[in-house]
């Protein structure tokens, strides 16, 4: 049996993930937009502004491929950061409208991308990291689900669909941070290995994914060595 490629799985998960995010944004009282999020230094408005601008950047880059005009996601890191701050300062109504429009534009841009153009590369910023257009659904569903939980507005990692939690671990397992260990998802009866040897860290797939993305201190996880390994060092 051939495993379904991660971007294909991600493309199937993204529409529902987006709808859940938009519902949370729409249901969040205006006064709560300024409250802190899980992301250090960012309010909930900052997180939603980032998600809106991320969708706009991806949509613009995909549309550029179709139009034959190479476009980066962002003009620069400084411009990206400034745009997030500026949009976060807008009214909650304006931010909600911008988020919905950006998500819609991205869905339409992805649908319009020819299959034979998915290997075309996109620049995150001019001269910066590049990635294939076909990776967009995987990148975006990670942004949406993880930052949705970062809002700390009633949606947490415990609400992640099992398919997304598994997808996240599949994607993270392709990255080598130099720390050998095995992650065992007790709810999925699956394991993922980084490097060779090291301890086995056990917990739900969502708790493992949350920890592996640098969030929290490993709540809900156990290690057969008695201590969680230090990741990202």
In order along its 233 residues, the chain shows pLDDT tens digits of: 347 789 999 999 999 999 999 999 999 999 999 999 999 999 999 999 999 999 999 999 999 999 999 999 999 999 999 999 999 999 999 999 999 999 999 999 999 999 999 999 999 999 999 999 999 999 999 999 999 999 999 999 999 999 999 999 999 998 876 789 999 999 999 999 998 889 999 999 999 999 999 998 999 999 999 999 988 65
Residue ending a domain, choose from 96, 122, 155: 155
- Domain stop point among 133, 155, 177: 155
| Same domain, residue pair 144 and 169 | no
Query: What is the CA 230 to chain-centroid distance, rounded?
Result: 22
What are residue 185's DSSP bridge partners?
190, 203
Tokens representing 98 are: 């911008």
Closest CA to 203 of 216, 191, 215: 191
Cβ atoms of 9 and 162 within 8 Å: the answer is: no
Predicted pLDDT of residue 159? 98
Q: What is the pLDDT of residue 230?
A: 86
In a domain, 138, yes or no: yes
Q: Same domain for 133 and 96?
A: yes
* Domain carrying residue 99: 6-155
100 and 191 within one domain:
no
Residue 184 lies in a domain: yes
CA 217 to chain centre: 19
Domain boundary among the residues 155, 178, 206 is at 155
Q: 17 is written with which tokens?
A: 């993930």
Instruction: Note whether 96 and 199 are same-domain residues.
Output: no
Q: Of 47, 49, 29, which is closest to residue 149 (Cα–Cα)?
A: 47
Note whether 145 and 181 are same-domain residues.
no
CATH code where residue 93 lies: 1.20.120.450
Number of domains observed in the structure of the chain? 2
- 10 occurs within a structural domain: yes
Q: How high is the pLDDT of residue 135? A: 97
| Whether 97 and 202 share a structural domain | no
Quick check: helix, strand or coil at residue 190?
strand
Q: Beta-strand (E) ranges in the chain? A: 121-123, 130-132, 181-185, 190-194, 200-203, 222-223
DSSP 104: H
CA distances from 5 to 9, 10, 11, 142, 149 (A): 7, 9, 10, 15, 25
Residues 132 and 18 in one domain: yes
E strand or H helix that includes residue 137: helix 136-150
Cα separation, 231 vs 226, whole angstroms: 15
- Chain center to CA of 71: 21
Does residue 43 sit within a domain? yes
Same domain, 179 and 151: no
pLDDT at site 4 = 79
pTM: 0.95
Query: Are residues 147 and 189 both part of a single domain?
Result: no
Q: What is the pLDDT of residue 175?
A: 84
Q: Do 69 and 33 have their domain in common?
A: yes
> Quick check: is 126 in a domain?
yes
The SS3 of residue 98 is helix
What was the pLDDT predicted at 232? Answer: 65
């Amino acid at each position: 049996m051939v495993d379904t490629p991660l971007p294909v799985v991600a493309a199937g998960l993204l529409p529902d993930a987006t709808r859940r995010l938009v519902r949370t944004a729409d249901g969040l009282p205006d006064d709560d937009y300024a409250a802190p999020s899980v992301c250090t230094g960012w309010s909930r408005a900052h997180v939603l502004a980032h998600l809106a601008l991320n969708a706009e950047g991806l949509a613009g880059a995909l549309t550029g491929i179709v139009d034959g005009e190479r476009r980066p996601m962002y003009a620069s890191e400084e411009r990206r950061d400034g745009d997030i701050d500026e949009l976060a300062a807008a009214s909650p109504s304006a931010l909600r409208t911008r988020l919905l429009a950006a998500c819609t534009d991205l869905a339409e841009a992805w649908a319009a991308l020819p299959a034979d153009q998915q290997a075309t590369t996109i620049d995150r910023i001019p001269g910066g990291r590049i990635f294939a257009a076909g990776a967009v659904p995987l990148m975006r569903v990670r942004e949406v689900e993880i930052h949705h939980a970062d809002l700390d507005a009633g949606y947490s990692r415990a609400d992640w669909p099992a398919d997304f939690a598994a997808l996240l671990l599949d994607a993270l397992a392709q990255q080598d941070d130099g720390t050998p260990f095995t992650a065992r998802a007790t709810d999925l009866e699956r394991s993922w290995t980084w490097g060779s040897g090291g301890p086995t860290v056990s917990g739900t797939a969502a708790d493992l994914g949350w920890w592996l993305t640098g969030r929290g201190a490993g709540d809900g996880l156990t290690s057969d060595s008695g201590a969680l390994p230090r990741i990202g060092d």
